Every structure is written in structure tokens, then in C-alpha cells.
Structure 1
Amino acid sequence: MLVLPSKYVNEMRMLPSTIASPTVAHAHNLMGRHTNMNIILRNNLHFRTLQLKLTPNLSFLTAPMQEELNYAIDKELPNCEDWVIIKPYHSILKLVARISARIFLGLPLCRDENWLEISTEFTENGEWDDFRKGHRYIRKAKKLLVPEIKRRRQATAAGKPSTENSNLLSWMMEIASEAEGDAASLAHLEVVMSLDSIHTSQMNAVHVLYDLVARPEYITPIRDEIREVSKEDGAWMKWEKPSFTKLRKLDSFMRESQRFNPPTLISMHRVMMQDHQFADGTVIPRNAHVSMAVNAIQNDPEVTPEPRTFDGLRYYKLRQQDCESHLHQFSTTQEKILNFGHGANSCPGRFFASLEIKIILVRLIMDYEYKFPDGKGRPENVRAHEFIFPNPEGELLMRRRSTSERLAI
């Protein structure tokens, strides 16, 4: 792998996929030839669906996401009037999986325990220690989803009104070409997107929770901000997507937490489909796998002053500057902020991920209090190659707050 200097970011982001392919690089990183993930090389249906359907409909999807979180909390979290020990990595995984399933599949299939097992276990086995696991989960997903896809098509052909159209599976069915739309391929893509979305949202949410408990001075200002939004917009279930965009302090803390705990040290991967010469004369040969050292770039003192200092309101303050209120958000990309990539091939699911994480964190922050077990601090991150994970065995003590302090839902 060739790690390029940041001076090439803008040139690289402008290159078409015929010259520098992010999809080929992504398939390579997923070991697609061995894990059956090379399906993303056949078409870009998943990418188009996220861009053309999911992101434009986030306002409509906010209420179902909140509703599913209410259901997930009742199912997955302990009713802890006194302190209990939880492992946030596993608890938050279940919350993210249920919300994602609601948006990916819709009711009632999103609550099918077989699907939840597929999406969570497939995600947890994402390191591919056993290649056969990837194939097994894909086969199980096809067995479950192919009959559902056929049923939805029959209902559409019969002209029956359906309440199941506003989810990722139905949107993929809607915009797929004839070559893209076979049921087995659609089911396969659902698994691929579950791997990408559940894993990253879970990790970000866990990191934020760990960092908040480690830095409790930020909890009060973030809770105060949430209360202010509640005064303006009513009970939590009445919040729409713009309500969550008002949470600038929480958004800033999320971005700073991601800076300290990036999902990967390198990103913006491309495989060169042909030789290419940059403006300064540098030639990158065909078949080279290139990337950017995103964490090192972001933590250059010229990009982030005092990068070793955790300032949870760093980006909140930057947004107070003239003409910068729309910048420095968790989901925005910039030339030197590349966790989600940059340019036309930026992560298409980042706006959904940002909203999903905020929906979860608002409930967890307002309804519960936390502390580390006696004598313990923030669990150390786990590293595997260039990837950084929150510690799966890390523990927190959690207790429900009094009724008057919780969110009105």
C-alpha cells in the first residue's frame, strides 16, 4: 500500500473511478475474493440507494428510528434503578443493530431474531478470522430475505398498498436495473451494508460514551443543550431531524472523540486502474493501492492546534466563527478531515450514521448515569493493523436517573 502525502487529497478526490477506484480498494480491504464481498464490484446499487434515497429521507426516518430505539432499550438494557455493570460494546451493538434493521428492512422483518443474529454476528466477525463465517451469514441472509423480496414484488404487482416502501430494501428494489435486481443479490447487498453501517456507528457511539465518562465536566453542558432543544421542540418523540442538528455541543464532542479514536489510521483508499501522473509530475502506476494517513493529517498541529489536548467543544467554538456555522460538523468532510473520505466518493451513509448515533446518545446521556468500576479508568482501545476498536470487554457501571431528569418521551 502506498500512503500519499496530504497535498494530493484534492487531486485524488477529483479522479474518476475509471482511473482511481474506491470500490476496488474497498473490496480488496474486505478480502472480497475470499469472503464473497466482491458483489460491490458488480454494481453501485448500494451506493446509489444511500445517496438518492436514504439521505434525502432522513427527516421522514427520524421518528421510526426513535421508536425502534425505545423498543430496543426495553428489550436490551437492564432496568437498573441501582448500579449494574454493562459492557457498552455489546449493549450498544444491539441498539444500533435494531435501529439499522428498522431502516434497512422495515417492520416486522427488522425484529426477526434470525436477521438480528446475522447482522450482529456478521459484524462482530468482521475481521474474517474464519473466511467461512462470511459465506455462512450471507447464505442465511439469502434464505431469510429472498422470500421477503419476492413477497414485496408480488404485492407491488398486485397493486396492493404497502406501508413497507420506506426502507433500504424496498428502495433498492425500486431503483435497481434488471441486471441488479435479482433477489439473491439484493439480499447479499443488505448484509454488506449491515457490516459497513452497524460496525462504524457502534464503535463511534461506544467511544463517545467512554470519553464522556472519562471527562464528566462535559456531561452537564451537553445535557443542558438537550434540555434547551426539548423546551423548543417538545418531547423527544416529537423531535424531527433539525432538532438533532441543534445539538452542536454533542456534535462537537462526537467529532473530537472520533479524532482521538479514529476507526482507522489510513483511509481514502483507491486502486489505480491505470497509470496516472499528478500535476507535480509524480506518476502512480496501475494496480497501486493508495491511501491517506488520515489520522496523522488531522492531528498535524497546523490543522488541529494542540492535538494532544482533548477539547470536547473544539468544533463547537470553531462554528461560532463568521461563515463557519455549517462547517466542522461530525458528518462534514474537509481537505484535512478525511475520516469519511472527501469528495464525490465520501461515505454516503455518514449523515444516517450521525443521526443514528445522536438518537442513541441523547437517550443514554439523559436517562442514565455512568461511572467506571472502582480503580478503573477509560478502557484502552484495541488495535488490529490500522484499525482501532473500543475495548469489547470494557465495563461501565450504569444506573437510571430519576424520572424528573429523564427525557420526556
Structure 2
Amino acid sequence: MEFNTTNTTSELGVMEPQTLARLLHILQTATVAALIFAVCAYIPKLKHRAHLAKLPVFNSSTGGGKGYIKSTKDLYSEGYRKFKDRAFLMTTLQGESSVVVPQALLPELRKLPDDVLSFPKAIDRSMEVKYTRIEADPRLSVHAIRSDLTPALARLNSTICAEVDDAMRQHLPLCHEWTEVPISDKLVDVVARISGRVFVGPDLCQDPEYLECCTKYTIYLMDAVRAIKKVRPWLKPLMVPRLPEIIRLRDMEKKAARILQPMVRERMEAEKADPDWQRPDDMMQWLLSHGAEHGKQSVESLANTQLGLIFAAIHTTTMTATNLLYTLASTPEYIVPLREEVREAMAENDGKITTRALQHMVKLDSYMKEVTRLYPPGITSFARRVLKGITLSNGQYIPAGVIIEVPAQAIYTDSDHFPDSGTFDGFRHYKLRQGGTASDHARNQFVTTNELNLAFGYGRHACPGRFFAANEIKMIIARLLLDFDIKMPGDATERYLQIETGSSSIPDPRKTLMLKRVEA
């Protein structure tokens, strides 16, 4: 059979220009559409940059990211002094635009709703929430803390106090002579057991596997965050799940679910089977009771909520108590008056550390607040992601997309707010409470949050567990004061330096203190 190519070639010759014309037309249309899309996409960015350009920018002579890492405290202090009453622009360690706002504007900012200023969105990127799976908006635990834990503190006081005494006996050496003690390591074990008593009850709080979760979860989580930040953004979906730190974190989550599963099932079955069953008085039961309202009834979801509580409570409480003891060892003149106050408060309350006794420890409360003023957990506070642009009362405009924060440590060391701010005065807040008004009394308590006291946050997202944490810390320090003399190793007098990285400031957990038991 013969194939005729003449007509085919002729037809192709006719079709080719038409096809080419169509292709050119499609290409032109696509190009124009792409340009229009690019312009439309870029205009908001141009507007965003234009709005940011109107804000004063703080440029430090230390220069660049390395300066941010090494001298964050100094950078924020310099910026605060230069732009004290205005918002100014800085670049965070993550390369984001951060708008630092003066504390005078906090009362108006706290009134803005969460769809304008978002706390969860602020920590999404800093904590790599997409991959770490930590709860950025833990509504169930916050609800349980506010509605159950805080109202129960007076009722639980004797239980918590007994757990403090037992944990201290278990984890601290006898110290009949001066003994060097790795105090941070000891405190994390003590705090894990005390917090565990409230979180999961008397049996599980002494379980070695549960306590390992308490003491290691935060370390694993922060290791994972640091590892994730080293991965290029476009590689994260592929690489992050394979990181050893993430695998270890997932294993910890599974372990927590395995540990809690028998307790959860036992309680669920007991409540169904026995209408007179007495509900345990602990956080796990409160989470179970409110879980259905928040869509959290599985063991896995409850375990993750418990891990969130561990992250929020164990190491933060440990670091605060460690800071207090490092400061006590370097300011020994406070030990005797604080010990006497604890003894007097107990003598007035049948020899026990009752809720009323804790309230009477006003000098200790003042000392705790002053230590937190000079050695706060963070250099900044009130981090929020701006979801909708806002105009401040001073006329400045902050566009959507940026993080805002407050230079907390710079505020604490401003002598306009705290006279002679560079000097440690352990009874500063006690004196203000004694000689002031009812407002002065309220504003100068350790648990108080306001525009000058930001250690526990500010506004509706201020730490809901601060009342429990304050009682726990006060009980631990009171027991240590009653039982031990404290000093620095080698008769040193200088306080240990904080470890400052980026905007975090923590006591060095590797340091030791000397303890010697107080003879009756």
C-alpha cells in the first residue's frame, strides 16, 4: 500500500502558522495575566514595607544578627532609651520584623481582640508548631486551670505542702556539713513530683517513667525547635519528620500516651459503672470532665495536653526557684529575716504552711518579685502577631503580619519606674505594700501582672497557672530556708551570671550551691 505524503505535507504547511498564532496568543495572555497577578501580589508587600518604613528603625553599632544573639538585652535597652514613648522596628533572631512598643500603650493593646492581636500566631513560628505539634492555643488546659485548679488551691494546699516536704526529703542530701549540691538538677526533680501530684494524682506522680517525661520533655522539645530552625524552609516538609530530634519527640508523645492510658480508661469506666464514684481531685480528672466540650477525649489528645502543661510548668518553675536560690546565696543578709518570717507565719497557723501562712510571707513574696525583676525569664514580653493593621493612640500605624513585643527587662531597669533600679532591694515591694494604698498592695505582689510587671505575661493571655506556680515556689523556698543555710561554693560572693541567648535569659543549670542543714 502506498502512502501519499503530498497532501499531508500541504495540510501541515497550512496549519502551522495558525497553530503558532494561537500559541502566541495564549502565551501573551498568560504573560499579561502573570504580570497582573504579580503586581496584585506585590502591591500589598509594597504597602507593608511602606508602613514599616514610617516606623523609626533601631540600628545598633553591634551590627547584624550576631549582635542580636550576643547583646539582645543591650539592644532592647538602647532602643527603649532612644524611643521610649514610641514604637520602633527591630529585626528578630528569626529575621522577622518586630515592632517594639512602649509599655504606656499596653492598656490599649490588651483591649484588642484575638483576631487583631494573636498570641497563638506569635508562637507558631518561634516554636515551629507545625512540626513540634505543641498546642499554641491550649483552651482545654487554660479552662481547667482557671475554673478548677486556681479555685482549688486553698483546698489542695495541705496536699501540695506534704508533697513538697516528701520530694525535698527524697531528692536533697542530708547536708549535716556544708555540701555542694547541683541545685537546678535537684529542683527539677522536686518540681516534677510536686506538679505531677496536682496533674495526675498521688500514684503516677511517683512513677519513674512519668517523671522522666516531666524532666525531659521540655529539653527534647527545645532541641527539636533548634534543629528545625537549621533546616531551609523549602526543605522542612521533607527533612523535618526525619530529624532525630523530631523522632525522639514523637517517641516521647507515644510514651506519655502509654503511661496515661490505664488511668484514663480506669476513670472513664468507673464513672460509667458507678454513679457514686468519687472523682479524683486533680488536673487529669478536670481535663476528662471538660474534654468533650473541647473535642479532646482520646488518650493521645489528653496526653498532648498534659505534655503542654509539663512544658509550661516544670522548667519555668525550676528556673524561677533556681534564680531565687542563686540570688539568696549571693545576698546572705536576707536569709535570716526571711527564715524568721516563715517561722512566724507558720507559728500563727498551727505550725503549718497554710494558704493564710503563705499570704503572710510578704517579705518572701517581695524578694521573689525583686529577683524576677532583675533576672526575668525573658528580655521581652507580650509577643503578639498583628493580624489586622492597627493605629496606636500616638498616631503610629502597625501593619498586619509583624510581631509586636514589649522590652520587659528595659522597663524593669528604668529608674523612672523603679527608683535606683540597678540596685537589688529584696524588700522593695514589701515596703511599697506596707506604706502604700490598696492599689500599691495589689500591684506589688509576685503574681500581679500589669504594664510594669510582665514576667507572667499581660492581658487575657497572662499565665493562668501563676497562682499555683507562686504557691509552689514559695513553699519550696520556705522549706529550704527552714532546713538549710545556703552559700556560694568557695565562699564566693558574686552571683552566677545568667545564660542569655537571643531574648531568653536563664540561670546556668550546671552551677552548684553549698547547703548545710540548720540544726534545731
For the criterion TM > 0.5, the same-fold answer is yes
Q: Which has more radius of gyration? A: 2
- In the other structure, the counterpart of 2:68 is none
Taking a change above 3 Å as real, the CA distance of residues 107 and 314 of structure 1, as seen in their structure-2 partners, is: same
Listed as ranges, the matches of 1:196-235 within 5 Å are 196-235=312-351
Tell me, yes or no, if structure 1 residue 32 matches structure 2 residue 129. yes
Matched position secondary structure for 1:325: helix
Aligned equivalents of 2:318, 2:480: Cα separation in 1: 13
Taking a change above 3 Å as real, the CA distance of residues 178 and 332 of structure 1, as seen in their structure-2 partners, is: closer
Deviations 1:17-47 (A, max 9, x none): 121111222343322122121x334x51111
Matched position secondary structure for 1:40: coil
Tell me, yes or no, if structure 1 residue 64 matches structure 2 residue 159. yes
Give how far 1:274 is off. 2.1
Listed as ranges, the matches of 1:268-287 within 5 Å are 268-287=382-401
1:292 is aligned, of 406, 412, 415, to 406
- In the other structure, the counterpart of 2:308 is 192
Taking a change above 3 Å as real, the CA distance of residues 161 and 119 of structure 1, as seen in their structure-2 partners, is: farther
TM-score with structure 2 setting the length: 0.74
Residues 341 and 347, structure 1, Cα contact 8 Å, conserved in 2: yes
Deviations 1:50-105 (A, max 9, x none): 11111111111211111111221222111221221111111111111110000011
1:259 is aligned, of 361, 373, 376, to 373
- In the other structure, the counterpart of 1:397 is 514
Listed as ranges, the matches of 1:311-390 within 5 Å are 311-320=425-434, 321-323=436-438, 324-374=440-490, 376=492, 377-390=494-507
Residue identity in the other structure for 1:296: A
- In the other structure, the counterpart of 1:407 is none
Residues 205 and 361, structure 1, Cα contact 8 Å, conserved in 2: yes
Give how far 1:132 is off. 3.6
Give how far 1:126 is off. 4.6
TM-score with structure 1 setting the length: 0.93
Aligned equivalents of 2:195, 2:428: Cα separation in 1: 30
Matched position secondary structure for 1:326: helix
Aligned equivalents of 1:149, 1:33: Cα separation in 2: 27
Aligned equivalents of 2:459, 2:420: Cα separation in 1: 27
The structure with the largest helix share of the pair is: 2
Taking a change above 3 Å as real, the CA distance of residues 178 and 195 of structure 1, as seen in their structure-2 partners, is: closer
Give how far 1:340 is off. 1.3
Matched position secondary structure for 2:515: strand
- In the other structure, the counterpart of 1:142 is 257
Taking a change above 3 Å as real, the CA distance of residues 258 and 85 of structure 1, as seen in their structure-2 partners, is: same
Residue identity in the other structure for 2:350: G
- Which 10-residue stretch deviates more, 3-12 or 124-133? 124-133
Matched position secondary structure for 1:270: strand
Residues 107 and 164, structure 1, Cα contact 8 Å, conserved in 2: no
Taking a change above 3 Å as real, the CA distance of residues 378 and 280 of structure 1, as seen in their structure-2 partners, is: closer
Residue identity in the other structure for 1:119: C
Give how far 1:164 is off. 5.3
Aligned equivalents of 1:385, 1:352: Cα separation in 2: 28
Residue identity in the other structure for 1:167: D
- In the other structure, the counterpart of 2:248 is 133
Residues paired across the two proteins, number: 399
Q: Which has the higher contact order (CA 8 A, sep 6+)?
A: 1
Listed as ranges, the matches of 1:68-107 within 5 Å are 68-107=163-202
Residues 35 and 132, structure 1, Cα contact 8 Å, conserved in 2: no
Give how far 1:212 is off. 0.9
Aligned equivalents of 2:248, 2:108: Cα separation in 1: 39
- In the other structure, the counterpart of 2:80 is none
Aligned equivalents of 1:271, 1:166: Cα separation in 2: 37
Deviations 1:355-383 (A, max 9, x none): 00001011011101122121534222112
- In the other structure, the counterpart of 2:63 is none
- In the other structure, the counterpart of 2:419 is 305
Give how far 1:162 is off. 5.1
Tell me, yes or no, if structure 1 residue 54 matches structure 2 residue 149. yes
Deviations 1:328-376 (A, max 9, x none): 0110012221111222221101111100000101101110112212153
Give how far 1:271 is off. 1.2
Residues 122 and 133, structure 1, Cα contact 8 Å, conserved in 2: no
Aligned equivalents of 2:416, 2:363: Cα separation in 1: 23
Matched position secondary structure for 1:334: coil
Aligned equivalents of 2:472, 2:250: Cα separation in 1: 28
- In the other structure, the counterpart of 2:31 is none
Residues 332 and 487, structure 2, Cα contact 8 Å, conserved in 1: no
- Which 10-residue stretch deviates more, 339-348 or 368-377? 368-377
Matched position secondary structure for 1:369: strand
Residues 73 and 95, structure 1, Cα contact 8 Å, conserved in 2: yes
Aligned equivalents of 2:279, 2:124: Cα separation in 1: 31
Residues 106 and 164, structure 1, Cα contact 8 Å, conserved in 2: no
- In the other structure, the counterpart of 1:250 is 364
Aligned equivalents of 1:281, 1:115: Cα separation in 2: 52
Give how far 1:178 is off. 5.8
Q: Which runs of 5+ in 2 are unaligned?
A: 1-97, 227-244
Aligned equivalents of 1:240, 1:27: Cα separation in 2: 40
Aligned equivalents of 1:190, 1:245: Cα separation in 2: 29
RMSD of aligned C-alpha atoms?
1.7
Residues 371 and 398, structure 1, Cα contact 8 Å, conserved in 2: yes
Residues 264 and 387, structure 1, Cα contact 8 Å, conserved in 2: yes
Aligned equivalents of 1:273, 1:147: Cα separation in 2: 42
Tell me, yes or no, if structure 1 residue 12 matches structure 2 residue 129. no
Residue identity in the other structure for 2:304: H
Residue identity in the other structure for 2:106: V
